[in-house]
Amino acid sequence: MPTAVSLFTGCGGSDAGLIAAGFDVLMANDVIPYARDTYLANHPETDYRLGDVQKIETFPQADLLVGCYPCQGFSQGGARQADRRINYLYLDFVRALRQIQPRAFIVENVSGMRSSTYKHLLNDQIEQFRASGEHGYNVKWSLLSADEYGVPQERKRILIVGIRSDIGLEYEFPSPTHGPRGTQPFRTIENALAGLPEWPLGEFCEDPFHWYYLSRNRRRDWHETSKTIVSHMRHMPLHPISPSLRRIHTDSWVFETAERARRFSYREAARLQGFSDNFVFPDTPNSSLAMRYRVVGNAVPPPLFQAVAGNLPNIWD
Ligand SMILES: C[S@@+](CC[C@H](N)C(=O)[O-])C[C@H]1O[C@@H](n2cnc3c(N)ncnc32)[C@H](O)[C@@H]1O
């Protein structure tokens, strides 16, 4: 079984995909205690190091290195400042790449990295990856839409994949499996939430819907894919059981009727991210509702990562 080291691991959305694609994750890392608790409840055999990646001096040898560095700096939702320290955590990924020199690596990041403000950071990452280690890497990148890989959600992400140059192969991104470019229809909210209770009390955020929340349409219907699942529970999209929203001004929407509305629960959000029902979100001293939402919303959809990792050529012998 090929081995992997995972950085910026969170609760392990990316790693659930890796494991499904046949990898053994030796080491993982994140700063969020509940991400560690969740990961270990699902994969107790991994050496999960809780703490700042910058403090890790040595990484184990592995065939594959994966990392999904944080996106606050680049994302639409976060403060967009190109010079924020958090935008340079990729340098720790580069440090690990140089040290381990794995046969291949995979990086995931938000689509905002292609914008003119951040393009220099994307270009710098690719340059650094190409020149890393004794041999360097053949690097490819692409913008993938998670719904085209069986995830019932609108979520576009940049994936960067490199194969060590001495192996002499180039990576090909997987073809879409769902939607007009694939062979199966898009998965819908209805498919994803089948069998779940309508009002799972205690599992959804009941904070009021402030003006900011109602500054855009947050609702999709049962037969559609979900809007993007985010990590802040107050910003979670509406469950389709909620009344429709109607636009009354440029940035102002109101509910059409007075019936009760609610956001997706964290468990529904996990289904919409493509986590399987076997994936456990344990009760621990760190398991507040906000934390459950946070680790789910931060995750890379497992089916998307599985498709990307599963399309690596067989370079492991
Ligand atoms: C996009 S999320 C990764 C999601 C994860 N790959 C998954 O699929 O579940 C980025 C992660 O980087 C972590 N992070 C931020 N700064 C860090 C640091 N200095 N050291 C280690 N992890 C950090 C965040 O806590 C967050 O979980």
Please tell me the residue having the least CA distance from ligand 1 atom 15. 70
The atom number, within ligand 1, closest to the CA of 15 reads 8
Confidence grade of residue 115 (pLDDT, cut at 50, 70, 90): confident
Cα–Cα dist 147/154, whole Å: 6
Residue 150 CA to ligand 1 centre (angstroms)? 24
**Range in 35-39, 43-47, 70-74, 192-196 the model is least confident about:** 70-74
Cβ atoms of 107 and 67 within 8 Å: the answer is yes
Cα–Cα dist 17/6, whole Å: 12
Please tell me the residue having the least CA distance from ligand 1 atom 13. 8
Residue 80 has pLDDT above 60, yes or no: no
Cβ atoms of 272 and 264 within 8 Å: the answer is yes
**pLDDT for 256:** 97
Please tell me the residue having the least CA distance from ligand 1 atom 7. 299
DSSP 8-state class, residue 267: H
Confidence grade of residue 78 (pLDDT, cut at 50, 70, 90): very low
Task: Report, as an integer, the average pLDDT of 260-268.
Answer: 98
Residue 114 has pLDDT above 90, yes or no: no
| pLDDT tens sequence across 196-239 | 999 999 999 999 999 999 999 999 999 999 999 999 999 999 99
The atom number, within ligand 1, closest to the CA of 300 reads 8
Residues touching ligand 1 (Cβ under 6 Å) are 8-14, 29-32, 35, 52-54, 68, 70-71, 89, 298-300
Task: Report, as an integer, the average pLDDT of 238-243.
Answer: 98
Residue 8 located in a structural domain = yes
The atom number, within ligand 1, closest to the CA of 305 reads 8
From the candidates 11, 68, 71, 205, give the one annotated as an active-site residue. 71
Radius of gyration of the chain (CA): 20
Residue 294 CA to ligand 1 centre (angstroms)? 11
Residue 88 has pLDDT above 90, yes or no: no
The atom number, within ligand 1, closest to the CA of 35 reads 27
Task: Report, as an integer, the average pLDDT of 273-281.
Answer: 97
Confidence grade of residue 83 (pLDDT, cut at 50, 70, 90): low
110-120: string of b/e by CB count within 10 Å (b at 16+)? Answer: bbbbbeeebee
Residue 7 located in a structural domain = yes
Please tell me the residue having the least CA distance from ligand 1 atom 6. 9
Report the phi/psi class of residue 101: left, alpha or beta, with left for phi > 0 and alpha for psi in -120 to 50.
Answer: left
Q: Which of 232, 198, 200, 201 is nearest to 218 (CA)?
A: 232
Residue 266 has pLDDT above 80, yes or no: yes
The atom number, within ligand 1, closest to the CA of 67 reads 6
**pLDDT for 271:** 98
Name the residue of 30, 89, 107 to mutate for ligand 1: max ligand atoms within 8 A of Cβ.
30
Residue 71 has pLDDT above 80, yes or no: no
Cα–Cα dist 141/105, whole Å: 12
Residue 74 has pLDDT above 70, yes or no: no
CATH assignment at residue 140: 3.40.50.150
Residue 67 located in a structural domain = yes
**pLDDT for 73:** 52
**Mean per-residue pLDDT over the chain, rounded:** 93
Residue range(s) defining the domain that contains residue 23: 3-181+300-310
Cα–Cα dist 154/158, whole Å: 14
Residue 289 located in a structural domain = no
| pLDDT tens sequence across 150-189 | 999 999 999 999 999 999 999 999 999 999 999 999 999 9
Length of the chain: 317
Residue 275 located in a structural domain = no
Longest dimension (CA), the chain: 64
Residue 176 located in a structural domain = yes
Name the residue of 298, 304, 305, 308 to mutate for ligand 1: max ligand atoms within 8 A of Cβ.
298
271 contacts: CB under 8 Å, gap ≥ 6: 152, 192, 193, 196, 277
The long-range contacts involving 249-256, CB below 8 angstroms and separated by at least 24 positions, are: 251/215, 251/216, 252/211, 252/214, 252/215, 253/214, 253/215, 253/216, 253/217, 253/218, 254/214
The long-range contacts involving 136-142, CB below 8 angstroms and separated by at least 24 positions, are: 136/164, 136/165, 137/97, 137/105, 137/162, 137/163, 137/164, 137/165, 138/162, 138/163, 138/164, 138/165, 138/169, 138/170, 138/171, 140/170, 140/171, 140/172, 140/173, 142/173
Q: Which of 110, 111, 67 is nearest to 89 (CA)?
A: 67
Residue 55 located in a structural domain = yes
Residue 128 located in a structural domain = yes
Annotation marks residue 71 as catalytic: yes
Residue 94 has pLDDT above 70, yes or no: yes
| pLDDT tens sequence across 116-128 | 777 888 888 999 9
How many structural domains compose the chain? Answer: 1
Cα–Cα dist 3/27, whole Å: 9
Task: Report, as an integer, the average pLDDT of 76-101.
Answer: 75
Residue 82 CA to ligand 1 centre (angstroms)? 18
Cα–Cα dist 20/3, whole Å: 13
